Structure 1
Amino acid sequence: MLRGKWLAVFSGIVMAIASCGHASAQATIKVAYTDPLSGPFAQVGDANLKQMQYIIDYINSKGGALGKKFELVPFDNKSQPSDALIALKSATDQNMPFIMQCSGSNIAAALIDATNKHNERNPDNRIIYLNCGAVAPELTNEQCSFWHFRFDLHAGMKAEVMVRALPKDTTKVYLINQDYLFGQSVQREVKNYLTKLRPDVQVVGDELIPLGKIKDFSPYITKIKASGAQALLTGNWGPDMNLLIKAGVDAGADLHYYTFYAHLAGGPTAIGAGGDNRVLAVMSFGENVAPAIGNKEAEAFAEGFREKHKFDFSAAGFRTIFEYLQAAVNKAGSVDATKIATAMEDLSLKDFLGFDTKMRKDDHQIISEYFVGTFKKGVKYDAEGTGLGWENTATILAKDIDQPNTCKMKRPSGA
């Protein structure tokens, strides 16, 4: 009986050691990716997935990390927090050290909470959440986490860029945003920066819409036209952005559109020729930036994706993610989540355009350059075969967009 007891104890120790070493023993460094790959926002998730894989192939060709290749493992979350949490559970069950998610700040908030709880309960199987596009400011302020790193500017930073891009003769604007955490953040931050920077501008309309539910935006365009607005400001993404601007262009509305995401998959096609010189996007990258600054290597990288997949490359930020990940894993010398997270803090790298970037230690928010692109004819690279593309009309350096934060981060023991 005593012998059986000690056998059970020994077996438990062996299993614990095997579990602890499982991630480091894997042949590849797995990165779970969860976003909508079906449903109304599937076009966004599919475009992200293709661009990530293209970038991972490049990073792997440069040696990966610790002599291992990165492997992307996709999970469809159907734009639902519950499905994203299932993906997280599957990733941790397989001892994956990283999970990435881009679309939906409500989903991001759920992932942060679940990651915090999992890592506290499972110190030998921790996971890092890499945020590639969920930009509600709360996520790196009051909801900040040691295990969460955001690699896109948050909505407050983007809103400041958007408001600064408004011409001086624009004095009446209309706001439409999606009615969830992200859209509410955009609504709040745009009004905040209008008050700070452009007190002469009047908000003549301000609406929140249900996420992914509206198929016909013509009634909204009718209200906007009646309001006397000169510009529509929106953080909408996916079909909520595409259909909104298409309705305005089709109705011949005398409007300029200031957006966060008009440049992403489906946007240029929906806008069409009627949007010539009327649509602006606050963006992390546009295909015409590299030739404008004379960076032939970056231009060739984007061209390579376009040739392979027959659509535009917009996700330079994803390359920044994997270059940070590569550097942090190599610096940590292992795939231990605590060591990698610590190595990522205050890391500074030049991005593939040659601009300075930094991952802030105090809130885990990337600080990087941003651009304003105008949709127009006559550019070197058109978008989605429309004959129009994004001309870079403004470049904002990282040092000029570094906003303060209110993060009070709880750090694990030893970090």
Structure 2
Amino acid sequence: MSPVKQALISLLAFATIGTSHAAAPIKLGMIEGLSGPFANAGSAVVRNIQLAIENVNARGGVKLPDGAHPLVLTTYDNKQGVEESLIGLRQMADQHVGFILQGNSSAVAAALIDGIDKHNQRTPGQRMLFLNYSAVDPALTNDKCSFWHFRFDANADMRMHALTEVIKGDTGAKRVYLIGQDYSFGQQLARSARAQLAKKRPDIVITGDELHPIGKIKDFTPYIAKIKASGADTVITGNWGNDLTLLVKAAKEGGLNAKFYTFYGNGLGAPAAIGEAGVGRVRAVAEWHPNTGQGMKTSASDDFYRAFRKRYPAPEDDYVHLRMHLMVDMLVSAIEKAKTTEAAAVAKAMEGARFRNGFHEATMRADDHQLLQPLYVSTMRKVADGSVRFDNEGSGYGFKTERYLSLAETTLPTSCRMRRPD
């Protein structure tokens, strides 16, 4: 379904509720790669944000002193490019979009932070906020932090901290190969992995440290051959989208007998690509996964997942990001608390805000606008074995929690020295 049709559905759902008078919609503008090698990742974002918007509109929209306002989503395909993203930002500004959403590239996120900072200085009467759901380079909330930027995903150091907490107790991990995409995120991930392994497992040998062009490799067979030749028993990767799917597919075809510690190995085709070879070997880290409800006293997690699957029943659409739903809910709460959509007032209302539902909690740290939340490290399992209830994307393989890290355990310090508006 096209973004235009999705927006119309959202507005029609809002219209059926009935309001005392027509209130102007609050525009959310997503700048993301919706074509090319990472189109599947961008489409997954659209589905999640659109459902979150529909849920808000179904309960009456955003309540302000002048009435209830529906949320609407507009999208711009940046083709995963920085310059194209800045063109999209200018178009969003021309359309008076107050809230910019993006995440699938830390390089793009850094450019948007700079672009929005400059826009807000030039046009104080039409300031914008940047809500980041996935760009995890730690610099974005450290030396590049901005009052106008909020991150709703754990940063790369936090995610790596969770993975290395598991590796610390993995006695089978002795020789580790690092492989990632050659841009700011991938470079930082490699530095973080080296530093954290040196501290937690100084006995581990780093057998390789490889960066490859992002979105350009069609066959990872030569890289898998290097990993095998290095004698690595463990691979750490932050690859996402097609770069991850093709990497694990090549690993399966090349008979690489190694464990994979990944940031994003639980979706976008990766479980099906690696299949049986990944059972007990592929791990992923996330703020939530569909099987976190197992063992819980409440059905809230299962209810959330089932509602998503009801809205998007196609197996290929099964990639749920809790943080995107959380992001929309926190934005709505901040707007309602501020009683305005003015960017500075909403930003101040979001600082220190708390989120809690029946299965997740989070806090927006005021110092750097980094969301603090628990993380799960989960391991790939076969649904037929009975160890997990829900699979990923109809693959027959799902993920089971191996390690839960509380909000306190995932919180890391920040070096942000934020400049605040007068």
TM-score (norm 1): 0.91
- 2:370 is aligned to 365
**2 CA distance for matches of 1:28 and 1:224?**
52
State the match for 2:146 in structure 1. 145
Which structure has the bigger radius of gyration? 1
> Which range moves more in the overlay, 116-125 or 75-84?
75-84
Who is 1:385 aligned against?
Answer: 394
Indicate if the aligned counterparts of 1:280 and 1:372 stay in contact, CA closer than 8 A: yes
Of the structure 1 ranges 288-297 and 86-95, higher mean CA displacement relative to structure 2 is found in: 288-297
1:319 aligns with 2:322: no
- In the alignment of these two chains, the number of paired residues is 388
- Taking the TM superposition and a 5 Å limit, the aligned residue runs for 1:163-182 are 163-166=164-167, 167-182=170-185
Alignment of structure 1 residues 149-298 onto 2, 5 Å: 149-166=150-167, 167-298=170-301
Note if 1:40 corresponds to 2:41: no
For residues 124-143 of structure 1, the aligned pairs below 5 Å read: 124-143=125-144
Cα distance in 2 for partners of 1:355, 1:305 equals 17
Separation of aligned partners in 1, 2:297 and 2:79 = 40
Choose 269-278 or 380-389, whichever is displaced more: 269-278
Shift of 1:354: 3.1
More displaced 10-residue stretch of structure 1: 34-43 or 87-96: 87-96
How much has 1:353 moved relative to structure 2? 4.4
Residue 306 of structure 1 contacts residue 313 of structure 1 at CA under 8 Å; is this kept in 2? no
Q: Distance in 2 between matches of 1:122 and 1:81?
A: 22
Instruction: In structure 1, list runs of 5 or more residues that go unmatched.
Output: 1-24
Q: How does 1:34-183 map to 2 (within 5 A)?
A: 34-66=31-63, 67-166=68-167, 167-183=170-186
Instruction: Please tell me the root mean square deviation across aligned C-alpha atoms, in Å.
Output: 1.3
- Tell me the CA shift for residue 274 of structure 1: 2.3
Relative to structure 1, the CA distance from residue 302 to residue 65 in structure 2 (aligned partners, 3 Å threshold; closer, same or farther) is same
Q: Secondary structure at the match of 1:124?
A: helix
- 1:301, distance to aligned residue in structure 2 (A): 2.1
- Aligned partners of 2:360, 2:43: CA distance in 1, in Å? 28
In the TM superposition, residue 195 of structure 1 has moved relative to its aligned partner by: 1.1
Deviation at 1:296, TM superposition (A): 1.4
Residues 235-279 of structure 1: per-residue CA shift (max 9 Å, x gap): 011111111111111222110000001113222222222222110
Q: Where do 4+ consecutive residues of structure 1 move more than 6 Å?
A: none
Could you tell me which residue of structure 2 aligns to residue 408 of structure 1?
417
How far off is 1:169 after superposition? Answer: 2.9
Deviation at 1:221, TM superposition (A): 1.0
TM-score (norm 2): 0.90
Partner of 2:17: none
1:26 deviates by: 6.4
The offset of 1:233, in angstroms, is 0.3
Q: Is the 8 A contact 1:43 1:266 kept in 2?
A: no
Q: Aligned equivalents of 2:135 and 2:71: distance in 1?
A: 23
Greater mean alpha carbon deviation, residues 296-305 or residues 65-74: 296-305
